[in-house]
Chain A
Amino acid sequence: MLKLHNLSKVYRTDEVETVALNSVNVEIASGEFVAIMGPSGCGKSTLLNIIGMLDSPSSGDYIFMEENVAGYNEAKLSNIRKQNIGFIFQSFNLIDELTVEENIELALLYHNIPASERRERVAHVMDKVGIAHRAKHMPSQLSGGQQQRVAVARAVVGDQAMILADEPTGNLDSAHGQEVMEMLQQLNEEGTTIVMVTHSPAHADYARRTINLFDGHVVTENLRAAE
């Protein structure tokens, strides 16, 4: 699916140069479920943003589906991103002024899909995550778990091949957290590649592989034994 080769990211301000990622080499195959772990400030989110093409690397190569996208401009990246990648955030990031349905539909609005097909797909995905009965509600009327389910629905409604989840359970209690993890697991079993940043070792266990970062380096990669 993707391959990072000698990838580095350096943030510069006037006085300080911060190395967020230092010659990282990561390969993620299609259909994998990968967890990224590490202490605060180790570069997890930077890595995820670069994989998600929301940020560009300072040096190195990023080969995404056999294309080196490291030097692509924003319009090109945006195009690849909307075709292939879905996002789930810790803070859900739903738009407060739109209903559940409209929030999910938003992901299809920029894909040139006819309205009837959009409605169909939104309805289907709402059923799948069990939020259909809340279709007309505003995000503020939902619990955290429900909001995150809407976010998951939004991430997959466009049939994205890969989902990037940035601490998807960070704002949820354990019961709701587990619900979301099970949903991700199910998506993975259906063939979606999932890359997830998390602090929770328990949730990392849902992944088949865990990448541990420390100060911008990949320190270990653990492969969970098949059960």
Chain B
Amino acid sequence: MFQNYISVALRNLIKHKLYSAINIVGLAVGLAACVLITLFVRDEMSFDTFWKDADKLYRMNTTFNVPGREPFVTVMAMGPAKGAIERYFAGEVEAVTRFNNEWPVIEYDNKVFSEEVYFTDPETVDMFSLDVVAGDIKQSLNDNSTLVVNESFAKKHFGDKDPIGEVMTLTYYATTRDYRIGAVYKDLPHNSVMDFRALIMIDEADFENFPWEYGHWFSVNNNIFFKLKDGVSIDALNARWKDFTDTMMDVRDQIEPGTNPSDFVTFSSQPLLDIQLYPAGDGEMKPTGDIKTVMIFSAIAGLILLIACINFMNLATAKSTQRAREVAIRKVMGARRGQLITQFLGESILLALIGLVLGIVLVEMALPVYSDFLGRELTFEYSDGTTLAILLGLIAFVGTLGGFYPAIALSGFQPSRVLKANKSAETSGSIMLRNALVVLQFTISIGLIVSTAVVYGQMVYGQNMDPGYQKDNMLVIRNVGRSGMLEQQEAFKQEVLRMQGVNNASLTSGRPADGNESNSSVEIPGNPEAGSILLGRQGVDHDFFETYQIPFVAGRAYDLSRGTDGTPSSEGAKEGEVLQGTVVVNERTIRRLGFGTPEEAIGKVVRMGVGDDVQADLSIIGVVPDINFQSLRQIIRPEMYVMSDSWKGNLTINFNGDAQALLSQVENVWKRMAPTVPFSYEYVDQALAEEFEAEQALATMLGGFSMLAIAVACLGLYGLASFTAERRTKEIGIRKVLGASVIDIVRLLIWQFSKPVLVANLIAWPLAVWGMMSWLETFPYRIDTWLLIPLCLFAGFIALMIAWGTVGGNAAKVARSNPIKALRYE
């Protein structure tokens, strides 16, 4: 019996080559897409699960509540928080550690270079189960002149030499010290949010004069992790953050009387295992993923699989007419319905199995490109029990889902009717179901096209958005604020200005799209009710507005010839003195301060602290438009462009001509002036475009999988069209005899398949618009919502064209055939 089933199944496969090929290829593509997405999703879910105490590790996140602005969230916290947690949560927390990255200048073997190094606390060893391959890591992190590095760091700098005991000289802030390599650990796997290649113990004494790193309560530079004691619930701890803030934050002298630290700062805990998928704010060691992305792609995987299953079902039911006779004869011979259902389900599962094998071949072929695109090494483990279970489950699921309806329908045929009438055994119900399924397939496809177009559109929009200043032909030289270059940065700027092709240059604290948060609070003299107002601040020089080509709405730029321009230095000032100066602000600042129109604001005064108990009254001399200097992904904040002698870390060059030639000139000067400082640069337009890299990746992936989905849906449509044409042979024959031309027939068949696509459009559009509008809401600056209408029309048009292309060829072939064959089949 079983052998009979197998041989019938195989013969059927071979006999209906087109049908089999469509089914198997469609299924293989669907399964391959599904497996690829699953690999990505499982990888995302696996982040940091390998740490021994992963479930007990939490990170402290900080939210600053700035009046008049969106709360600012960072995943970093303040240096003193470590000690505060240890004391306040002594009963709950076992250990606390900090991570703070620096780029010290390193000298080794007569070479000078810079590497990222994380300063951390000795507790790290007890909290994170690092895989040590050499040396004693515990001892090393308890010693302020020992360096712990990972294998690739060791390999890069020491080659095949034994790294333990090698000595490197590190310079950072005021410290220059010899560090001995004390331990080497295995590189962290890619599926970790932790990313450090070298560790040094924090010795706070080294930072005494640089208290913002570990001493200040209003300066956040550390990723702080803590480990719960056994049996402690995080909820109990979370409930006490507010009290922790008010009890432990020693900032009473920095905030206004009558307010509490918890009015400005909110702490929260985030499980280590959640960090990868639930991005909380700025300051991660490396870019994280997002649960939304994971869910979007899981959904797409499901949808593609659904499309493939629908093909399966549709083609099988369509084909069922041709097998009516076989069913009838089997029934006459005594087959029970259950046996027939088993037979057809078995065939369906066999087909699914073949599809899976081909699908795995496709996965193996696509994996290198896919891994490359995702930037991580993904492999498909066959021996893994879970994988096998998933695959077998998938086969059973697809085979059963695809085969169930046809099995029921086929086995339900009445033999007498089928054998006698020899007419279409198909019920109108199954035709309706099939149309509904085609509608569903195209709804999914059209929805995916619309989504891809919107994501792509938003990306292009973001990348081409006018930030309000010149972004092309702008080169930013970084690191000009590092010791070695800091002292001579003005001379460096002058050298650059002399180069050919350089129009202008400006020293600034930040650079476009660095997202850096720096704020100062100001008061309005004579208006005590206004209180203290926090304003964003960018440190600039007098060439800033000219270099970035920022126009003025009112007033003027800084002028060096007027000695009074800019924020005065507190040096030499007496305690309690109020100095005089000038400032340029953006339009939002004017609104925040209630200064009326930009013209009216000129000459108005804000008071800002410039040193210990020294203040400056700054009169507004210029108002510029709201420019996106901080980030294109954030709402523009009220911002002051402060010209003072404060620290500046970037030199922006406005140039024309050959960028490469200029760059090498600048680099030569840099190497001559500051050989110990790494030369680092970026172009403004690229930096702005990089802000939308995540969307670019999303658009590419969406586009790729949408195409797969559509391809699978089209395969199904093609198969269905051929079957329909077969079913309508007689009708087509009659129409031709009555004078219908080939065109008439093609039109007839194409219209039949246009209807479900048109209906699918009507369903897909509102769904896609709704989904995409909520996606777009995450961007403060986004494409016009009305643009969704042409995008929907475009997607519908594409889908219709694809459907026509798929059906048209077949229809033409059928329409050209001789009608007499169709009409004489009795």
Contacts and interface: CB of A to CB of B under 8 A. Distances in A.
B736 A78 contact: yes
Given A45-B824, A93-B733, A106-B734, A111 B818 contact: no
For B736, B737, B740, the residue with the greatest tally of chain A CB atoms inside 10 Å of its CB is: B737
Given A49-B820, A54-B818, A55-B820, A87 B737 contact: yes
B738 A107 contact: yes
Interface in A72-105: 74-75, 78-79, 81-82, 87, 89-91, 93-97
Interface in A37-79: 45, 49, 52, 54-55, 74-75, 78-79
B741 A110 contact: yes
B734 A93 contact: yes
A54 B820 contact: yes
A25 to B, nearest CB: 23
Contacts of A3: none
B143 interface: no
Contact of A82 (B739, B820, B826): B739
A48 to B, nearest CB: 10
B633 interface: no
A110 B744 contact: yes
Interface string B407-432: 00000000000000000100000000
A81 B819 contact: no
Interface in A179-209: none
B823 A93 contact: yes
B826 A106 contact: no
A81 B734 CA distance: 13
Nearest to A103: B734
A118 interface: no
B740 A95 contact: no
Contacts of B556: none
Interface in B518-564: none
A149 interface: no
A75 B741 contact: yes
A147 to B, nearest CB: 13
A78 B744 CA distance: 12
A94 B826 CA distance: 14
A154 B741 CA distance: 18
A144 to B, nearest CB: 13
Contacts of A49: 820
Nearest to B823: A93
A106 B738 contact: yes
A169 to B, nearest CB: 15
A106 B820 contact: no
Contacts of B731: 95, 97
Contacts of A79: 739
Q: Could you say which of A54, A74, A109 has the most chain B C-beta atoms within 10 Å of its C-beta?
A: A54
Interface string A95-133: 111000000001101110000000000000000000000
A90 B820 CA distance: 13
Contacts of B818: 54-55
A89 B819 CA distance: 13
A110 B738 contact: yes
Contacts of A109: 738, 740
A9 to B, nearest CB: 12
Interface residues of B, number: 21
Contacts of B816: 74
Interface in B735-757: 735-742, 744
A197 B737 CA distance: 17
Contacts of B216: none
Contact of B819 (A54, A91, A110, A111): A54
A45 B826 CA distance: 14
B826 A95 contact: no
Contact of B739 (A78, A90, A93): A78
B734 A95 contact: yes
Given A54-B818, A55-B818, A95-B731, A78 B741 contact: yes
B604 interface: no
B337 interface: no
A110 B739 contact: yes
A49 B822 CA distance: 13
B738 to A, nearest CB: 5
Contacts of A54: 737, 818-820
Contacts of B738: 82, 87, 106-107, 109-110, 154
Interface string B800-826: 000000000000000010111001101
Contacts of B740: 78, 109-110
A81 B736 CA distance: 10
A110 B732 CA distance: 13
A111 B739 CA distance: 8
A205 to B, nearest CB: 26
Nearest to A151: B734
Interface in B32-57: none
A97 B428 CA distance: 10
A91 B730 CA distance: 11
Contact of B823 (A74, A78, A89): A89
Contacts of B744: 110
Contacts of A96: 424
Nearest to B431: A97
A176 B818 CA distance: 31
Interface in B709-768: 730-731, 733-742, 744
A182 B737 CA distance: 24
Contacts of B823: 89, 91, 93
A117 to B, nearest CB: 16
Nearest to A107: B738
Interface in B176-202: none
A74 B730 CA distance: 19
A91 B741 CA distance: 23
Counting chain A CB atoms within 10 Å of each CB, the highest count among B424, B730, B733, B820 belongs to B820
A45 B820 CA distance: 10
A126 to B, nearest CB: 17
B730 A106 contact: no
B466 to A, nearest CB: 57
B130 to A, nearest CB: 73
Contacts of B733: 93
A107 B739 CA distance: 7
A109 B738 CA distance: 9
Contacts of B820: 49, 54-55
Contacts of A91: 823, 826
Interface in B13-69: none
Nearest to B735: A106
A171 to B, nearest CB: 9
A81 B816 CA distance: 16
A108 to B, nearest CB: 9
Nearest to A79: B739
A94 B736 CA distance: 13
Contacts of B730: 93, 95
A49 B824 CA distance: 11
Nearest to A106: B738
Select the residue from B736, B739, B741 with max chain A CB neighbours within 10 A: B739
Contacts of A81: 737, 739
A112 B67 CA distance: 75
A195 B196 CA distance: 94
Contacts of A89: 823
| 6 smallest beta-carbon distances between A and B, as pairs | A82-B739, A110-B739, A54-B820, A107-B738, A95-B731, A110-B740
15 contacts: A54-B818, A54-B819, A55-B818, A74-B816, A75-B741, A78-B741, A87-B737, A89-B823, A95-B730, A95-B734, A106-B738, A107-B739, A109-B738, A111-B739, A154-B738
Interface of A: 45, 49, 52, 54-55, 74-75, 78-79, 81-82, 87, 89-91, 93-97, 106-107, 109-111, 154
Given A87-B738, A91-B826, A106-B734, 19 more contacts: A49-B820, A54-B737, A54-B818, A54-B820, A55-B818, A78-B739, A81-B737, A81-B739, A82-B738, A82-B739, A91-B823, A93-B734, A94-B734, A95-B734, A107-B739, A110-B735, A110-B738, A110-B740, A110-B741
